[in-house]
Structures are given as structure tokens and as C-alpha cells.
Structure 1
Amino acid sequence: MQVELIDEGQKLTEKQRQIILDLIDQAGLKIAAPAQAELDITIVDNHTIRQLNRDYRDIDRATDVLSFALMEGEEPVDWSTISMKEGQEPLNLHLGDIIISIERAIEQATEYKHSLERELGFLAVHGFLHLNGYDHQTAEAEKEMFGIQEEVLSDYGLTR
């Protein structure tokens, strides 16, 4: 999977950058996303994410993570049903964009009493799952999405 990680304020350490990239790869394997999938993750401040939240969701406040999926649907994408014709070159598939507020991540890590790395990882995986059609609008969907998130984070060693 190709991930472009843009740190607008240059706030991430190299370790934090690598954790985010590793977790996206791990989450991609977990849901069997295609290896040629692409996405962008941008780390911003509260002011920037508030503007995006206001402009695209009509909610005038900072949030922790926003996902802008290019493939919107009612159900999670079942990648096993999407196949290439024999001999066809695999196309790069841009899933969308994840925007994370570093300031909200720091606040939430303190509030939840876990590391910033765990919070950044949670937000990245959460956003990635949204790009792939997962949501938490019903109790059943939330259980599935949060179960995947926790499994990916735990397997990586980022527990609460």
C-alpha cells in the first residue's frame, strides 16, 4: 500500500511516522485491501481541521480525525470480490484522505492516559477503516469497526 504522510507542522517524530505507516499496512492486511491502494494522511493543527470540519460537515469545531473516502458505500468494501482480468495491469486505487489533528491527538492521549503513539495509531486506523466503508452508526457496525481497530493496535503492541 502506498501512503503519503504529510506533517504540515513538522510535529511528528520519525518513530511516530513509522508507527502510523506500519499500522496502515497492518490494517490493510487485516481487511485484505489491495496492495496497490493509495491514500494520503495529513497531520494538521486544530485551526485547519476545524475549517475542514466546518466546510465539509457543517460542524464548526475542531475534531480529531476526518476521512474523505473516494469510494463511498453503505457497507465495508469486500476486496475479495474485486478482481482484475487476467493479464490486466493493476491500477493504483486512491482510497481517499485522512486528516488528523495533532493537537486533539495530544489532548486525547492525556485524557485517556495512554501514549501519543497509541492515539495517533488509533486515529490513523480509524480513518483508514472509514475510507474502506466501515462506520460506527449502529451498535453492530461499531462493534465490528472498533474490534478491528483494537486488534490491529494490540497486535502492534499499542495497548491502553
Structure 2
Amino acid sequence: MPSETTTRQWRIRPALPRLKLLGAAGMFALGILLAEGDLLRPVFGALGAALLVGWAIRDLMAPVRLAVDPEGITVPAGWTGRRHLPWSAVANIRVLHRPGRGFGGPALEIDTSDSLHLFSRMDLGVDPEEVAEALAAARPEPPDPDRSGPTLR
């Protein structure tokens, strides 16, 4: 069992919500600048900007994406909520290496019997391999069935 009683957290980088807000401002400005008398372009620019602002607000309200303590892990639930999963509910923790352009790269996968949680480098602020190692170190050893206690003869 781990000797640490502290909680370790991984969160998004503070620059990410700022970039989303800048992108929202740019999208809104482009919608207005490219309108040329068309009402649809500013409306679409405003809708896209509103989505980015909402996403940035969520990042500001709930920046912690993953936390671990001796009892288990805490993952996001819903828009800004959290859900604590005991270690007994965690079936598998692994890092997937996804190919792709723009959206490729390693992703941390936490598998439970009823849900699957995926975290990218953007979610965690660090390399998913590093987080997987920290989770493996924090996870208590399962009881050994061969050594379940003293045997009476």
C-alpha cells in the first residue's frame, strides 16, 4: 500500500482557456468582417465563438481533469462535476498511441467495468505516460490469492 496520503492532481495548462477565448474573439471578428451584408456569417461566427467561450469557462471552472489518492482516482463527471472511483473499480490503466494528424498522439485510458475515461496531453498538462506511471505507483497491490493467510493442517 502506498505510504503517501496526499492527493496528486493533473490539470489543463492555464494557457488553454486563454487560447480558446482568443479563438472565440477571432471567430466572432471574422464573422463580422466577412459578413458583406450577409446576416448568416456573423451569426455563425457568434455561435462558434459562444461554443468556444463555453468550453473555456468549463476549463476555468473545473481545471483538474484527474486526481489520485490512496483510495482511488477522481475523474470528470458531467460538465464540471467529479466522480471518485475506488481502486477496486479500475480494471485497466494504459496508454494508447493513436496515429493521426492533429489529433494523434498518446492518450491515457482508464477502464472500469461501466465506463471508459480518455485523457490527452492537453487534458493532463503532461505526458500521459508519466501519469500512467504515477497511477501505477499509487495503486495498491491486489491481494495475492496464493497467500490468503495461514493454512491450518
| Normalised-by-shorter TM-score class | under 0.3
Larger helix percent: 1
Larger strand percent: 2
Structure of higher RCO (CA pairs closer than 8 Å, 6+ residues apart)? 1
Question: TM-score by structure 2 length?
Answer: 0.26
